[in-house]
Chain A
Amino acid sequence: MGPNTSIITIALSAILINNFIFSQFLGCCPFLGCSTKLDTAAGMGLAVIFVMGLASAICWVVNEYILIPLNLAFLQTIAYILVIAVLVQFVEMFLKKSVPSLYSALGIYLPLITTNCAVLGVVLLNTQYSFDFLQSVVYGITGGAGFMLAICLFASVREKVEFAEYPESFEGFPIALVSAGLVALAFMGFSGMKIG
């Protein structure tokens, strides 16, 4: 991927082929932590789409108009994490005031998005691929959509796994990881796809 990749390619690749969780391992902690129920998984997915889209847009502007003109590109990591932390805080305050129902539904997951590596990851990848503004925003939103797809699919698998029989030592996280591996196997089917 690079500056000349078309938007449709970016979207398809972010959702299916290079899914953030199943092929890039970004955002595994909330993926494993918030996937025990389908509704919380969906809420988390929506919040991540929103934050990833906004963060991509703002960080692109910060990088292009502040860091590069001042020759401060080496401070990218620090600048991005600051932007993300402030952004999440603002989103939290905004939701609390204007959409309290969504705010209470997301609860603790909102502040946790700051430490979701998918968010910082998408911003860093945008810079690495030298995407322009539109490409960055599309990659952010579709990357979030890929995250949501993965977490919702996995939550429904996990609800079934609850009733399955497995060795005692695998209780809790290990069985979740192994079933995540099997869901990743299904996603591998997309990796053969090649789009121009």
Chain B
Amino acid sequence: MADLSYVRTQMVPQQDPPITETGAIKWARENLFSGVTNSVLTLLALYFLYQVLHEVIPWLFFSTWNANSLAECREIAEGGCWAVIRERWPQLVFGFYPSEYYWRPVLTFVLMLVALAPVLFNGLPRRMVWFSALFPFLAFWLLWGGSLWLPVAVIAGFALAAMSVIYLPALTGTLLATIVAFIAPVLWWLFLAAPVASILQAILPLAIEPIESAKFGGFMLSVTIGITGISLSLPIGILLALGRQSNLIAVKAICVGFIEFIRGVPLITLLFVASTLLNYFLPPGTTFDIILRVMIMVTLFSSAYMAEVIRGGLSALPKGQYEAADALGLDYWKSMRLIIMPQALKITIPSIVSLFIGLFKDTTLVSIIGLLDPIGLSNAIRADQDWNGIVWELYGFIALMFWIFCFSMSRYSMYLERKLQTGHR
């Protein structure tokens, strides 16, 4: 029988692994050349990359910023002609907004970042949210100008609603107070807000130069429509999703009808309705701002989709969550706000952000109804004799700008998902 005992007399010191098992060589072997098929595919991909870069790099490298027309560009440089961006930059950003008032959209944009910050990130003082709530009115006033009293009168409508919710229940009961909270501000906005604003304006004039909507354009227009649509479609979508699950038949029917109708119609159709048809239904003589109409349509369109996305999140939650909330004595709105919605929204973050990105890109469709967003402007620029025939530089630039916005949204959503990760099993 063999001797099974063994005693090590000398310890082996740590050694470096063989060179083929470390660093770049190991990585290349494992990821690029792990087999015959993979090696062939790698070589093909490298050849393809070479072909693309071979064309693109000189085009980028031998491009020019200094020219006054496409023809001049072609004389100076073999590559791209960025001069068009340099020359039309203000137009691509602001449309036909008067140049002496460019500071207004710029200021609005900066304030927008300030207003978004407390909504997107916690760790900032909570009081900044009040500025975020005020920002839409301030932005409206800065962009369109006119009397400051108009946005103030609109805010008064919301104050009216808040007051009916806070003070009326003690006098009239909750149901009546809720109804008043909906009807009073609507009546105020329809019949009283405008006259009151003009009276206040007569007493104490506070106005800046009004700019009409026809002068809006470029990325300013895209961002205005996009951000409005994004920030309004989420709350409306939540309400629609809850309404669709409601036990109240009338509420449910209205929500289902709305969602199914809006989802069944192309956005372009809705935009045409906004641009032309709506005028036939409104009393003659009413001027109803075209950008406002488009914003409403875009918001309604995406809130219908939003409602369905959120409904998916709601139905993914176990029934036990609803029951636990009920069993603790939370009423419907509290359990939705504190228990159900935070979880449903968390599950649906990727889909919600996809919708936001889609919405933002869909703002380019307004070019079809004649608004001068970047795409609409690009047609105008290409029709110009100087720049007739330019394609890649212009569309490439517009695409890059959109990509920056959309990529930021995508990164933000990933950050948010990580932040909200609480060790779900």
Asked if A and B are interacting partners, one says no
